[in-house]
Amino acid sequence: MLSYRHAYHAGSHADILKHLVLMLCLEHMNTKEKAYTVVDTHAGAGMYLLGTPQARQTGEYAEGIGRLWARTDLPAPLGRLLAVLGAVNGDGRLQRYPGSPWIAAHLARPRDRLRFAELHPTDHALLRRTFAAQEPRVTVERSDGLMLLKAALPPPSKRGLVLIDPSYEMKNEYLKVAQAIKDALQRFATGTYLVWYPLLPLLEASQLPQKLKKAGAGHWLQATLQVRSPSGESRGMRGSGMFVINPPWTLAAQLEQTLPFLANVLAQDAGATWQVDSFEQKTA
């Protein structure tokens, strides 16, 4: 099913959480000299104009990045994320929101490699256009990103980060993500894996983190940002989560510094909250 277009949701609270975690993980990857590979399995269009009918139809960016753009009291990690976003809004006006492929390419170094998969024909064409002038380090493919992992892992340098961010339009995508992580860990156990998922009143959504915890990783971190209460008539997404396998040792503290601020500023009602949980298997 290829009806999902991220242009309707660019710059939302979910994007803020996802891209904050992505930035923090890539910053940590950059602290070591050895090259790495980034694989984005559901890359989208790469860049979004916030003045388009799609973005204006939902207005999600106004309740997300729009609430942060002009603030001067941001925690340090959020300040760095806003600086990244500012690179595509040079006049200071919030007109564009970069997707995860652009953010990864912006933060990665010339020696690193980036591999982006997008199955939707329109978004794939836009993604190729976004990186038309990029160096050979960027590869854009029209393919099923979860299937691509079988060919992409392990990367040549044995250092890599994988971002998995499906639309979850189909309920079986939750199971496919869990299985893809389990398979990927068997081929590349030391990779850093980032899985975004929605907080929905749906059994498959609530079960996904538990399935990921049982996928075979010895170290994981789970961060959630909820912007409204799950009660009431609305059955839509109340927030989202990021499940990170083999997270940087700095990530938990950085999120604990930042998520309380986000929960407060992005709150849509009194039910806004955040949480960071982690597990690391003890070694003999």
**Active site residue ranges:** 165
Q: How far apart are CA 215 and CA 207, in angstroms?
A: 13
- Amino acid, res. 70: A
How many other C-beta atoms lie within 10 A of the C-beta of residue 144? Answer: 15
Token reading at 108: 């990665």
Q: How far apart are CA 106 and CA 81, in angstroms?
A: 11
Q: For every residue of 214-275, which 3-state class applies, written as one string?
A: CCCCCEEEEEEEECCCCCCCCCCCCEEEEEEECCCCCHHHHHHHHHHHHHHHCCCCCCCEEE
Quote helix, strand, coil % in the chain, to nearest 5: 40, 20, 40
Q: Which residues are registered as beta bridge partners of 50? A: none
